[in-house]
């Protein structure tokens, strides 16, 4: 016997917490944009992101890639903490008790509402120890200087520490395709550092995403990324 | 916000509203009383509508996992509540953005289409008992959109053959 009264009381399901017209709010008097939880949001102009790329390249050369990755990793760590707090508060359960599908929905909507593009997660290589993320309309790809390799280091860093936080393992992330190079989306591969880093050489040899995934998944699948 | 009123508000930025615009404004205000009444009925009769629906569902799927049935009922508790608010605001996007862009993956992942199709049928019957035909007409576009979005699509995740 289903008790609707109990289900209504428990309110275990709520709608889209990250719906833009509610999630993003403005305080006109103080000139702030805030999320519905009171956290401050900033709207960055594209030219500012462009300036970060150019300024860093001018000042530190190739090290700018590592700097951007680190910045992304720092961002991802705090983003994971805030995201976990907001989602578990909204759904009334700790993140560990939230279904994977609800987690993914929240993650995708959160990403979209912040204006970072659209993100999809692909678990086809999960049994081999890898998660693939696809990002469409990335702000970082659009504003990056056009070079001969993927340039979304900030997002790669962000994804590595976000999913590192989620899985409780140290993860690394490499980008295998980039919108700045004409690809339809940005592919990112996440996994344990010693396994993912093998792909860096294949990237330099200009292998495509499918080939890299095939080669990666032919490695030993003895260590998995825990859900 | 009421989308019809909102578009009139934007239109009035640089000129006075025309007679036709004012007619729309008037119609919208007139229907508001009816929408509020319908909203109140749905709020006050939520249990009376949904408990028999849930009971029918349990009878129809006696061997189904009770957790899945509960999940389906929770989905439609929410759809009905958000539809009521969308109807009150006269704002289709309210329902779409909060629920309908959000739920299809949940319905598909748990393979709830069959259960929810039956639930929808029972819910229609209960709504007919609780709402007047005029009130039902106000709510209908929102429920139909929910049905079309959630239950008229081929599931992306098929069970293993």
Q: What is the pLDDT along chain A (227 residues), one digit of tens a residue?
A: 899 999 888 765 567 889 998 899 988 788 999 998 888 999 999 899 999 999 999 999 989 999 999 999 999 999 999 999 999 988 888 888 888 888 888 999 999 999 999 999 999 999 999 999 999 999 888 777 766 778 899 999 999 999 999 999 999 999 999 998 889 999 999 999 999 999 999 998 889 999 999 999 886 444 445 54
| Percent of all residues in chain A with a pLDDT value above 90, rounded to a whole number | 59
Q: How far is A19 from chain B (nearest CA, A)?
A: 6
A93 interaction partners in chain B (CB closer than 8 Å): none
Q: Domains of chain B: which residue ranges? A: 32-151
Label residues B63-81 b or e (16+ Cβ within 10 Å = b). eeeeeebbbbbbbbbbbbb
CATH number assigned to the domain covering B32-151: 1.10.490.20
Q: How far is A108 from chain B (nearest CA, A)?
A: 10
| Residues 6 or more apart in contact with residue B135 via CB below 8 angstroms | B34, B37, B38, B41
Beta carbons within 10 angstroms of residue B83's beta carbon: 24
Are the C-beta atoms of A135 and A186 separated by less than 8 Å?
yes
Residue in the structure block whose two tokens are 């989620």: A166
Cβ separation A4–B73 shorter than 8 A: yes
Q: How far is B47 from chain A (nearest CA, A)?
A: 7
Residue ranges of chain B whose CB lies within 8 Å of a chain A CB: 46-47, 50-51, 54-55, 57-58, 66, 69-71, 73-75, 77-78, 82, 97-99, 101-102, 105-106, 109-110
Are the C-beta atoms of A174 and A200 separated by less than 8 Å?
yes
The pLDDT of residue A14: 67
Cα three-residue angle A62-A64-A66, rounded to 5 degrees: 95
Report domain A53-217's class: alpha beta
State whether ipTM is beyond 0.85: no
Q: Domains of chain A: which residue ranges? A: 53-217
Q: Which residues pair with A57 in a beta bridge?
A: none
């Amino acid at each position: 016997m289903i008790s609707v009264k109990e289900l209504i009381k428990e309110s275990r399901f709520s709608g889209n917490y990250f719906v833009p017209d509610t999630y993003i709010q403005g305080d006109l008097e103080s000139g702030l944009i805030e999320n519905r939880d009171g956290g401050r949001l900033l709207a960055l102009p594209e030219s500012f992101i462009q300036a970060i790329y150019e300024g860093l390249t001018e000042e530190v050369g190739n090290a700018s890639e590592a700097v951007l990755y680190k910045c992304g990793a720092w961002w991802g760590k705090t983003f994971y903490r805030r995201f976990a707090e907001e989602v578990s508060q909204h759904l009334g359960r700790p993140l560990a008790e939230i279904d994977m599908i609800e987690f993914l929905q929240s993650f995708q909507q959160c990403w979209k509402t912040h204006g970072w593009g659209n993100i999809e997660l692909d678990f086809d290589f999960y049994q081999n120890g890898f998660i693939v993320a696809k990002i469409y309309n990335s702000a970082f790809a659009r504003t990056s200087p056009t070079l001969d390799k993927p340039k979304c280091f900030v997002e790669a860093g962000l994804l590595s520490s976000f999913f590192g936080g989620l899985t409780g393992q140290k993860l690394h992330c490499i980008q295998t395709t980039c919108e700045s190079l004409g690809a339809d989306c940005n592919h990112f591969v996440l996994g344990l550092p010693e396994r993912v880093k093998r792909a860096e050489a294949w990237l330099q040899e200009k292998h495509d995403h499918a080939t890299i995934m095939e080669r990666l998944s032919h490695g030993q699948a003895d260590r998995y990324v825990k859900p | 916000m009421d989308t019809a009123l909102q578009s009139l508000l934007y239109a009035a930025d640089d000129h006075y509203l025309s007679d036709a615009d004012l007619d729309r404004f008037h119609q919208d205000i007139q229907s508001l009383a009816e929408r509020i009444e319908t909203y109140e009925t749905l709020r006050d009769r939520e249990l009376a509508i949904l408990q028999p629906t849930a009971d029918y569902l349990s009878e129809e799927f006696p061997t189904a996992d009770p957790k899945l049935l509960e999940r389906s009922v929770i989905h439609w508790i929410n759809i009905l509540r958000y539809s009521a608010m969308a109807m009150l605001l006269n704002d289709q996007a309210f329902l779409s953005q909060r629920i309908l862009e959000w739920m299809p993956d949940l319905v598909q992942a748990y393979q709830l289409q069959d259960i929810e199709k039956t639930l929808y049928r029972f819910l229609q019957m209960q709504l007919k008992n609780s709402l007047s035909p005029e009130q039902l007409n106000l709510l209908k576009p929102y429920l139909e959109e929910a049905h079309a979005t959630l239950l008229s699509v081929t599931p992306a995740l098929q069970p293993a053959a």
